[in-house]
Copies of this chain bind each other. A is one copy, B any other.
């Protein structure tokens, strides 16, 4: 049974386990500070395929297969996979998972997708005692040309721009077994403080992260210090700074134990990524490669994972619109 507390937080009393997880990244991500953590670093940015979209689809397919294998389950034991990506019509998900023969529910949450998928998978697991999976992916070469400029244009990037990661992460959620456990979740709300700059996603997403974190802490009557780490998806340097400022106004200080996947995945200065990494695959791969193993081992006892999505649309931007954003939260614990 799901127990709601506050506006949109749910306590999962059966505390589903994350029983399998896998990450795949491209070569630039593999050369970053977390390079040795990822399950696969693929040096061929085409993943053996002809087009970028096929490459991203193939990366997702391999990652999902890897996560299911690591869970020890047969594919037929996975009741449904929740997945989506950044490319129009969630192309890479629909084609990447076309032949996998697992029931499928498509989601769209931009870079919040991994948290949304884990939220749905853990709620379905909690309610049915079956196994579910969550996955997402992003690819520098598909995303940049869709959302910003043709790659061959060689456009100059602004200091606030983030680098869309070529990365994918997938996880399998099963009825309570061993840590990591998912013990509660918060569904986010769309928020829009008026950012129009498609090269400043961090600023567009920070208010959504602040709203969701505040909502979780208030709903559960908890304080930031209770958690070993509070992990945001991909706010990058600009967005993280804004998040601190927004939370400070409400007397919430997360500066001591906050980490941001977008700031972790690259060596920001040496790898010339400006404000950090981004893309659905950024937080998904960092969660699966870096954080989940540490929660499993007990090095991290209790963490919040808040993936943020900029619900940006080139068509809306061309019509003068600002960028709405959303953030969903998952609490992941070693002990319940």
The CA of A119 and the CA of B108, in the complex, are separated in Å by 16
Asked whether any CB of chain B lies closer than 8 Å to the CB of A84, the reply is yes
- A314: nearest residue on chain B (CB-CB)? B88
Residues of B within 8 A of A95 (CB): 313, 316, 321, 324
Interface band, chain A:
35 or more
A271 → chain B closest CB, angstroms:
27
Determine how many copies of this chain the complex contains: 2
Residues of B within 8 A of A3 (CB): 128
The CA of A7 and the CA of B102, in the complex, are separated in Å by 9
Of B53, B123, B130, which is within 8 A of A316 by CB? B53
* A106–B116 CB distance below 8 A: yes
* B106–A89 CB distance below 8 A: no
* B89–A192 CB distance below 8 A: no
- A80: nearest residue on chain B (CB-CB)? B187
A211 → chain B closest CB, angstroms:
10
* B110–A89 CB distance below 8 A: yes
- A3: nearest residue on chain B (CB-CB)? B128
The CA of A192 and the CA of B94, in the complex, are separated in Å by 10
Of B110, B189, B319, B321, which is within 8 A of A104 by CB? B189
6 new A-B contacts at CB < 8 Å, known A1-B1, A4-B128, A123-B127: A51-B319, A84-B108, A89-B110, A90-B311, A98-B190, A104-B189
A residues with a Cβ closer than 8 A to B are: 1-4, 7-8, 10, 50-51, 53-54, 79-80, 84, 87-91, 94-95, 97-98, 100-110, 116, 119-120, 123-124, 126-128, 130, 187-190, 192, 311-316, 319, 321, 324, 326, 328
Can you show 29 pairs from A to B with CB atoms below 8 A apart? A1-B128, A2-B127, A4-B79, A4-B128, A7-B103, A8-B79, A50-B319, A53-B316, A54-B319, A79-B187, A87-B313, A88-B88, A88-B89, A88-B315, A90-B311, A91-B315, A91-B316, A94-B324, A95-B313, A95-B324, A98-B190, A104-B190, A105-B107, A105-B109, A105-B187, A106-B107, A106-B108, A107-B107, A123-B123
